[in-house]
A and B are shown apart, each in its own frame.
Chain A
Amino acid sequence: MVKLTIPQIEQKATEIRRDIIRMLAAAGSGHSAGPLGLSDIFAALYFNVMNIRPEEPEWADRDVFFLSNGHCVPVQYATMAEAGYFPVEELLTLRKFGSRLQGHPEREKLPGLENTSGPLGSGLSQASGYAYSLQYLDENPRRFVYVVMGDGELNEGNIWEAAMFAGKYKLSQLVAFVDRNNIQIDGTTEDVMPLEDLKGKWESFGWHVVEIDGHNITSIIDATSQARAITNRPTVIIAHTIPGKGVDFMEYNYKWHGMPPNAEQAKEALEDLRTLGGQITHEGAGV
């Protein structure tokens, strides 16, 4: 796939956010904060970082993407539609009966999904299994495995079992993102179950750790380049993000974790969409 430039990716991220708001409003249920916060990372991955062919989802030389926090799948669906895996109009079927876009991702329903997830804490292991296969069984150093986890799901023991495993086997083709947005359902992560010192935790498990602004496309791309260049350890990118990013009334508010906007809120959100600098990147980014 042709790699987009930074401004083009920023514009894609805005389109992805617009798609997310529209699809959630149409679904009448689903998660808003996480998907909006992850839009820049997904835009960077699918439109620049990953070596993929949306028209050929099972392409043998592709990079693979695992979503661990399955409830954030609206951002993956929106990104995949924008990338050409399926028609953008299909996004409005999200969570509806008969749709390929299940409320939480199901691999067999939609070509291009690599895993089924929802119950938290298992995506890093699945990605590690794939990365192990590439590194030790297939001995193919050209492909990479990307995985996105939420920060709340780091409460799960399964994650740290995987962290030990990937550290032990030095899975250098594994690139993990932690969406560090500091919220989970019952409140802030540090109130519910503190994660800090998060960088120190991953380092002590044998990982290379990069901390970035998860809304800065250049930082996202640079961090993944660095991860691919490191050949003796897995890399985790702790991406500091703003939950609900781009919609002023949703930003930082954990109450938007598991809630969709209603029609009126969606209208306001679509008018509100902006970039990190508070600027609308292009004309007509509104409704």
Chain B
Amino acid sequence: MSYPLNPDLYSDDVKYEPIRAGFGRGLKAAGEVNENIVALCADLTESTQMHLFRDAFPKRFIEVGIAEQNLVTVASGLARAGKIPFTSSYAAFSPGRNWEQIRTTVTLNNQPVKIVGSHAGVSVGPDGATHQMLEDIALMRVLPNMVVVAPGDSIEAEKATRAIAENGKPSYIRLAREKTPIFSTEESPFEIGKAYVLKEGNDVTLLGTGALTYELLKAAKLLEEHGIDAEVIHVPTIKPLDREAILKSARKTGRVVSAEEAQVAGGFGGSIAELLSEALPTPLKRIGMYDRFGESGAPAELMEHFGLSGNKIAPEVKTWIEHTAKYHQEF
């Protein structure tokens, strides 16, 4: 079955919504079916969209103030008492500031605490580099027991939140501040650990996580005009990685591109490099942030500047393909 894409995907009228809005709805929906779900926030309740849960279940909402270390460690204690705690803040602060507490009291302690990092990536915009979290994927995916999910749009964020609520594991969910296009539909599948082929192709595999998947769809359309037939795969779960789906496509196309709004070192691109170099040494081009911080600016302007928009990715990929031989099994 092919993945149902938003029919308005390439139209100028494509609907935009912040990914975090889907999280807010998903958490409230999860709370309706499971009364053990509780929510904690570090003074950013509306910003992280946790207010929807707070207003629906005031008794199950805990305000901890601007104290991210306490945020996750109190959650660890709540989990020991049988609760399923969702903790939210900006990704720069959680998991940015409280990594050791997450390591010891959540992942080594193996409690199903959910870390919700909003405002990840350079698309945070004017707030600048301090608030544009780029290292969260690396910080979270290196932890044993941790599940890492970066939903592609608000519809998927809602599904991902509900799935994470019931997975029984320490989990990180990465959200963005800015409105981004919706490329999936209510009917599109989401399962933790699964990657989805959005467009089939033979010349190159484009792997996207988070909102960058939309930019890859755009890039694929531009590449088509140059006779390049790209396969686009959406990888919302960064850990555990859907090795089978990624390797199957890499085997077919012989060239892989990864794209993320994060540091490629240790990030999504890093995880793809690890997979390919061990299992199928396919030439890899990583789109993302290369050992540098972001800066203030308008979100779209920054995405363009750092080469993360579809119209920047397309020529980059085209040039790379022209100079890169496909992987051959007889290597």
Residue of A nearest to B107 (CB): A116
Q: Which residues of A contact B100 (CB under 8 A)?
A: 119
A129 close to B65 (CB less than 8 A)? no
Kindly provide the distance from the CB of A145 to the nearest chain B CB, expressed in whole angstroms: 8
CA distance A196 to B38 in the complex (A): 37
CA distance A107 to B108 in the complex (A): 9
A129 close to B67 (CB less than 8 A)? no
Tally of contact residues, B, Cβ under 8 A: 28
A129 close to B73 (CB less than 8 A)? yes
B82 close to A133 (CB less than 8 A)? yes
CA distance A250 to B65 in the complex (A): 42
Kindly provide the distance from the CB of A43 to the nearest chain B CB, expressed in whole angstroms: 24
Kindly provide the distance from the CB of A31 to the nearest chain B CB, expressed in whole angstroms: 18
CA distance A116 to B75 in the complex (A): 14
Asked if B77 is at the interface of the complex by the 8 Å CB criterion, the answer is yes
B interface SS class: helix
A165 touching B70 in the complex, CB below 8 Å, given contacts A129-B76, A130-B78, A133-B82: yes
Chain A: interface size category:
20 to 34
CA distance A122 to B59 in the complex (A): 24
Q: Which residues of A contact B73 (CB under 8 A)?
A: 122, 125-126, 129, 158, 162
Q: Which residues of B contact A132 (CB under 8 A)?
A: 62, 74, 77-78
CA distance A241 to B288 in the complex (A): 55
Residue of B nearest to A162 (CB): B70
CA distance A137 to B73 in the complex (A): 17
Q: Which residues of A contact B277 (CB under 8 A)?
A: none
Asked if B279 is at the interface of the complex by the 8 Å CB criterion, the answer is no
Residue of A nearest to B73 (CB): A125
Q: Which residues of B contact A115 (CB under 8 A)?
A: 76-77, 80, 105, 109
Q: Which residues of B contact A157 (CB under 8 A)?
A: 69
A117 touching B82 in the complex, CB below 8 Å, given contacts A126-B73, A161-B69, A161-B70: no
A125 close to B76 (CB less than 8 A)? yes
Contact of A125 among B65, B77, B82 (CB under 8 A): B77
Binary contact track A7-28/B, C-beta < 8 Å → 1, others 0: 0000000000000000000000
CA distance A128 to B71 in the complex (A): 11
A165 close to B65 (CB less than 8 A)? yes
Asked if B83 is at the interface of the complex by the 8 Å CB criterion, the answer is yes
CA distance A161 to B69 in the complex (A): 8
Binary contact track B70-99/A, C-beta < 8 Å → 1, others 0: 100111111111110100000000000000
Residue of B nearest to A122 (CB): B73
A137 touching B101 in the complex, CB below 8 Å, given contacts A158-B73, A164-B67: no
A129 close to B74 (CB less than 8 A)? yes
Q: Which residues of B contact A114 (CB under 8 A)?
A: 80
Asked if A45 is at the interface of the complex by the 8 Å CB criterion, the answer is no
CA distance A134 to B60 in the complex (A): 12
Q: Which residues of B contact A106 (CB under 8 A)?
A: 108-109
A125 close to B74 (CB less than 8 A)? yes
Q: Which 8 residue pairs across A and B have the least CB separation, nearest first?
A: A129-B77, A125-B73, A161-B70, A133-B81, A126-B77, A116-B109, A161-B67, A129-B74
* Apart from A122-B73, A129-B79, A165-B67: 20 A-B pairs, beta carbons within 8 A: A66-B77, A108-B109, A114-B80, A115-B105, A115-B109, A116-B105, A116-B108, A118-B104, A119-B100, A119-B101, A125-B73, A129-B77, A130-B77, A133-B77, A158-B73, A162-B70, A164-B67, A165-B70, A165-B74, A168-B65
A-B contact pairs, 25 of them (CB 8 A): A107-B109, A108-B109, A115-B77, A115-B105, A116-B105, A116-B108, A122-B101, A125-B76, A125-B105, A129-B73, A129-B74, A129-B77, A129-B79, A133-B83, A134-B81, A137-B59, A137-B83, A158-B70, A161-B65, A161-B67, A162-B73, A162-B74, A165-B64, A165-B67, A168-B65
